[in-house]
Structure 1
């Protein structure tokens, strides 16, 4: 696993996921939130060790935490009995880290899971932390805030696009391209609604700036994702995986996910403690 991918995944494990969990209206997640560092820290450490038994064991510890998190998805579904778009997005966020953890355990052990190369498995880990968890969560938050069809479209298309990209791994590059198109449409809709509806409310300047950055970055990073998927399917020139990690991956991690969760945390705090 490259240094850059390791840094991106570390950010996802130690910052994005725990910050995102605090944005979910789920009192039953309290225990997982408190225990998360005991799973995430070993997971982050394993990224910097050579592949082998120790790295695999630490990755397994992280996987255990993600399974505990994923188990809240069916419990939440039974409790709410809702398939509303915002709920679909939250359920996707709860499950996605476990997909990332499965890929991580395989990659750290040197096992070609389902025949996929170790490079692909390594990149699956950040994809399901940021597209699977962060993007789905933010789409759900936007959907709860902005009551219009476009918001519901975003909350459904981000999870659907993430699922289609995953299925594309097993089918072919054209299926993965279809997933990238759906995911991009959802992410661009999130960006538009964030810019037009959420950021223009009477929030403080830092919050508006964080929301604006998170929206603007998505325009560029998802265009890169489209160009890569199109190139893989058609053979047209496109960025390689190293360049994608340095642009699409880093942009989504810092510019979108980090800025978005910080902004929504500030919004939540302002709601709970109005001036």
Structure 2
């Protein structure tokens, strides 16, 4: 993995996921939240070690944590018995880090899982932390906060669907991956629009409004980059390379969208704005 990709992945492991888990209202996640630093730290160390048994063992610790998180999804479904759009987005957020965990173990061991080269596996790890966990979680929060309006339901359904289609595209072909990128981009732009128009409010403090505004604005540019890359892969048209995509799309989504969005939603508590007393957790 490159240094930049490693740093982005560490941000997802050590900051985005644990902060995001605090936005879940489910009591069953309490133990996972408490143990997460002990699970994520070995994964972060594994990023910097040479491929081999030591890196694989440490990555497996992190993968076990992501699997425990994924297993909470069917437990939550059994408890809520709900498949409304916001809940689908939340279940997706719980499940997707396990894809990153599996890819990390394979990449650190030097195993080309399902025939994918190690570079693709390395980039799968940040993708399913940010386009998976963070994007789905924020889409679910936006949907719930906007009282399941049609645009909110669209965002909460299209982000998980787009993420699933992108994953399926890995196994099918570049055109399937392009279709996933189109759906995911549409969902993320819906999240951006609703964040800008409905979630952001003059009654909030300046820092919260700024974080929400940045998270929404960044998505416009980063998802355009994702579309251009997927279109180029499918058609052969000129498009950014993976290194450039990591430095622009990847870094922008990690810092500009995910970090700003999670920080903003953490600030949207009942002390600042009564509208979020029930809606700021999922």
The answer to whether the superposition gives a TM-score over 0.5 is yes
Q: C-alpha distance in 2, partners of 1:19/1:174?
A: 35
Report what 2:172 is aligned to: 171
Cα deviation per residue 1:116-137 (whole Å; 9 max; x = unaligned)? Answer: 0000000000000000000000
Q: Which has the higher mean CA deviation after the structures are superposed, 199-208 or 3-12?
A: 199-208
Report what 1:39 is aligned to: 39
Aligned residues: 274
Q: C-alpha distance in 2, partners of 1:63/1:86?
A: 26
Report what 2:280 is aligned to: none
> Which runs of 5 or more structure 1 residues have no equivalent in the other structure?
none
Report what 1:19 is aligned to: 19
CA shift, 1:271, in A, is 5.5
Q: Runs of 4+ in structure 1 displaced over 4 angstroms?
A: 271-274
CA shift, 1:25, in A, is 1.2
Would you say 1:6 and 2:27 are equivalent positions? no
Alignment map for 1:1-275 (pairs within 5 Å): 1-147=1-147, 148-268=149-269, 270=271
Q: C-alpha distance in 1, partners of 2:268/2:202?
A: 11
Q: C-alpha distance in 1, partners of 2:110/2:271?
A: 46
Contact 1:23 1:268 in 2 (8 A): no
Q: TM-score if structure 1 supplies the norm length?
A: 0.98
Over the aligned positions, Cα root-mean-square deviation in angstroms equals 1.2
Q: C-alpha distance in 1, partners of 2:134/2:270?
A: 19
Distance 1:231-1:2 versus aligned 2 partners, 3 A rule: same
Contact 2:39 2:62 in 1 (8 A): yes
CA shift, 1:269, in A, is 5.9
Q: C-alpha distance in 1, partners of 2:87/2:272?
A: 21
